[in-house]
Amino acid sequence: MNNDLEALLALQADDVVIHGLDARLESLEPRIRELDLRRARLTDALARSASAVADEEKKQAWVRDKIAEHKALIERNASQLDADRIRVRRQPEAVFAMNGYSCGACDTAIPMQRRHSMSTTGAIDVCEGCGVLMYFPS
Q: Specify the pLDDT at position 64.
A: 96
- Rg of the chain over CA atoms, in angstroms? 44
**Tens digits of residue pLDDT in 88-113:** 655 567 788 898 889 988 888 988 89
The β-bridge relationship of strands 133-135 and 125-126 is antiparallel
Query: Does position 60 have pLDDT exceeding 80, yes or no?
Result: yes
Q: Specify the pLDDT at position 90.
A: 54
- How far apart are the two ends of the chain, measured CA to CA in Å? 130
Query: Does position 81 have pLDDT exceeding 80, yes or no?
Result: no
Helices (H), the chain: 2-89, 112-121
Q: Specify the pLDDT at position 100.
A: 85
Q: Specify the pLDDT at position 84.
A: 62
Q: What are the structural domain ranges in the chain?
A: 30-89, 92-138
Considering Cα of 7, then 12, then 13, then 18, what sign does the dihedral take? positive
Q: Specify the pLDDT at position 5.
A: 83
